[in-house]
Amino acid sequence: MTNLTSVRSIAPAKINFALEILGKRSDGFHDIDTVMSTVSLADSLTITRAKPGAGLSYQVEGPGSASLSESEDISCAAARLFAEASKTELDINIHLVKRIPISAGLGGGSSDAAAMLRALNILWNLNWPDDRLSELASQIGSDVPFFIHGGICHCTGRGELIEKLPDLNNFRLLILSPDLDTLVLNKTASMFGSLAPTEFSEGKHAWRVAQRLSRGLPPPTNDLVNTFEKVIERTNQTLNQRYAAYRSVGALKIHLSGSGPSVFMFIHPGADVEFLSQTFENIGGRCFPVETLSRRISREVEINVGTL
């Protein structure tokens, strides 16, 4: 593949079927036990070779993209780290199309970073295996190694210890992402800092979710827990009111993704998804009907393409 000029990589969002915080580590991070799945809502990242010595150029578009800059986008940090680790000149043009809400608990930034590593691995013809890419990804962020693999994974440690689980094909969900302009959000680090020791757990819920998914069965509803729900209940009355409004019009079982504020619900066969989405959007925020994404599709790339 010596004549490659560009690579486009999908960068899917994720949801956490379960997320338990086990405790704080001596290095300042937290041990977690989580089961995550990529979903069909996705950003698109196109990397094009630039002339030698041109360096890195960055272009981003899409909802919320005005708040992103090259210095703040961890996909650019991933590109620099990979160039240094592989001793490759960083002469590339980056074109990122954002569709995943920013800072919403859906892993958009981490997914973009993983997509960058996958794309550059192909563009530069490096042929690094996934395990080696995952080691590099763990230096960027705790969720980034998961996105190197995609599909459904049981993740422990900081999130870098990955157990792949079978695909749950075409499992339908509705993601509800509250309006970021009107809600006060806590950043992930702040959310971790707000945890009380009594809110740490042993990972039994995530383990049961992983065991059921390992048999090709849907996740058990009673074990879809997220430790950060307790933090939001204590600290963010605005979000609590928004979730209550969602429940009042039919979202009886909503589950927090990541550190929030996005939540998701299962969609039953035959449900009027368009009506549901409009109902929730009338309350505030954006709705995304999605399906779980297979490991293969969540890692798809195209070569020698133009920008989207």
Active site residues: 14, 143
- Write phi, then psi, for 48 (nearest 5 degrees): -120, 140
- Write phi, then psi, for 190 (nearest 5 degrees): -65, -40
How far apart CA 40 and CA 273 sit, in angstroms, is 15
Straight-line distance from the first to the last Cα atom of the chain, in angstroms, rounded to the nearest whole number: 22
Residue whose C-alpha is closest to residue 151's, from 303, 300, 8: 300
On the CB side of 11, CA atoms within 13 Å amount to 31
Residue 39, beta-bridge partner list: 292
Residue whose C-alpha is closest to residue 37's, from 11, 9, 17: 17
How far apart CA 15 and CA 256 sit, in angstroms, is 8
Residue whose C-alpha is closest to residue 105's, from 258, 223, 209: 258
How far apart CA 126 and CA 279 sit, in angstroms, is 48
Contact 260, 230 (CB under 8 A): no
Query: Residue 50 carries which side chain, given as an amino acid letter?
Result: A
Query: Residue 210 carries which side chain, given as an amino acid letter?
Result: A
Cis-peptide, bond into residue 197, ω within 30° of zero: no
- For residue 180, CA distances in Å to 42, 65, 158, 286 come to 18, 13, 27, 10
Residue whose C-alpha is closest to residue 55's, from 86, 89, 5: 89
3-state secondary structure of 124: coil
